[in-house]
Structure 1
Amino acid sequence: MEKLHLEYPAGAPATQRVLVGVVASGDLEILITPAPAGRCHITIHSAADGSATRWRAQLERLFADGKAAAMQMEINDFAATPGVISLRLAQALEELSA
């Protein structure tokens, strides 16, 4: 099991809490809570050792511009594929902007 902590620049605080996905075989869960303006704090609990490179690549594409809402994001990963990761992240961010 691996635990990662990542941080990215952000804008204004998120306005709501979000929960998408479930922790089950080959899937993942994302929980978002608002955080103070300026930073996205991301914690990933992954069942797959050596997943840091995969996670950094996925998240840097999303948060590189610094325009995301400030949030605390907790991700519980049960060895999800890159496609499932992309889907769940898109769902979570869509819910956040709704």
Structure 2
Amino acid sequence: METLRFRFDGRQALPAGEHHALVGVVASGNLEVLLERLPLDGAMEIHIVTAARGFGEIWQAVLGDFAARHPLRDLRISINDVGATPAVVSLRLSQALEALQESAP
């Protein structure tokens, strides 16, 4: 297993709503994404535990793209991965963000 951590500066606050959102399933070729609202001095922190070693640059690119499209503040993203492709990672991140935003009043 490999553990990766990333931190991006956020500019946008999430609308009020649920404290967290969880999507995906930890299974072969898939991953689980948990989004949590936490006071992080305006940052987005991402913590990844993955079975696929040596793909840090690809994770950096996929997560950098997500952070550029969604520069969110005070958000922790936890990812448990079992070899998901970059497309699946992007899909799950979008699904989790949508689930968190759907909970807003």
Same fold (TM over 0.5): yes
- CA deviation digits over 1:41-81, x for unaligned, max 9? 11000100012111111110111367324211110000001
Matched, 1:22 2:25: yes
How many residues are treated as equivalent by the alignment? Answer: 98
Matched, 1:35 2:38: yes
The letter for the 1-side match of 2:31 is: L
Find the structure with the greater CA-based Rg: 2
Q: What is residue 6 of structure 1 aligned with on the other side?
A: 6
- Unaligned 5+ segments in structure 1 are none
Contact 2:33 2:93 (C-alpha < 8 Å) held by counterparts = yes
Aligned structure 1 segments of 4 or more residues deviating by more than 6 angstroms: none
Matched, 1:70 2:94: no
Please give the alpha-carbon distance, in whole angstroms, between the structure 2 residues aligned to 1:63 and 1:28.
Answer: 19
Matched, 1:46 2:47: no
Q: What is residue 80 of structure 1 aligned with on the other side?
A: 84
Distance 1:58 1:77, change over 3 A: same
The alignment-based identity, stated in percent, is: 43
TM-score, length of structure 2 as denominator length? 0.83
Please give the alpha-carbon distance, in whole angstroms, between the structure 2 residues aligned to 1:19 and 1:39.
Answer: 20
- Secondary structure at the counterpart of residue 6 of structure 1: strand
- Unaligned 5+ segments in structure 2 are none
RMSD: 1.8
Deviates more, 1:48-57 or 1:62-71: 62-71
